[in-house]
Amino acid sequence: MIRAGFLAGVAGLVAAGAAVGLATERYAIGRIRNGPDPEADEPFGKLRADRIRTVTTDDGLPLAVEEVGPPDAPLTVVFVHGYCLTMGSWHYQRLGLADMINPKVRMVFYDHRSHGRSGRAPAETATIEQLGDDLHRVLADVVPRGPFALVGHSMGGMTIMALADAHPELFESRVVGVALVSTSTGRLSEVTLGLPAVTAKLRAPVLPLALRVMRTRAGLIERTRRIGSDISWLLTRRYSFGSTEVSPSLVEYVGRMISGTPIEVVADFYPALNAHDKLAALGRLRDLETLIVVGDRDLLTPVEHSERMAEALPKAELVVLDGAGHLAMLERPALVTLRLRAFLHRAYRSASGSAWRGVR
Judged by DSSP in three states, 104 sits in: coil
Reported as a pLDDT band with limits 50, 70 and 90, residue 33 is: low
The DSSP 8-state label assigned to residue 217 in this structure reads T
pLDDT digits (tens, 9 = 90+) for 246-305: 999 999 999 999 999 998 999 999 999 988 999 999 999 999 999 999 999 999 999 999
Confidence (pTM): 0.86
Give the model confidence (pLDDT) of 345-357 as tens digits. 999 998 744 344 3
- How far is Cα 70 from Cα 312, in angstroms, rounded to an integer? 35
Domains of the chain: 51-190+268-351 (3.40.50.1820)
CA gap 282, 309 in Å, rounded: 8
H-helix segments, 34-154: 91-96, 128-142
Residues with Cβ within 8 Å of 204's Cβ and at least 6 positions away in sequence, in order, are 189
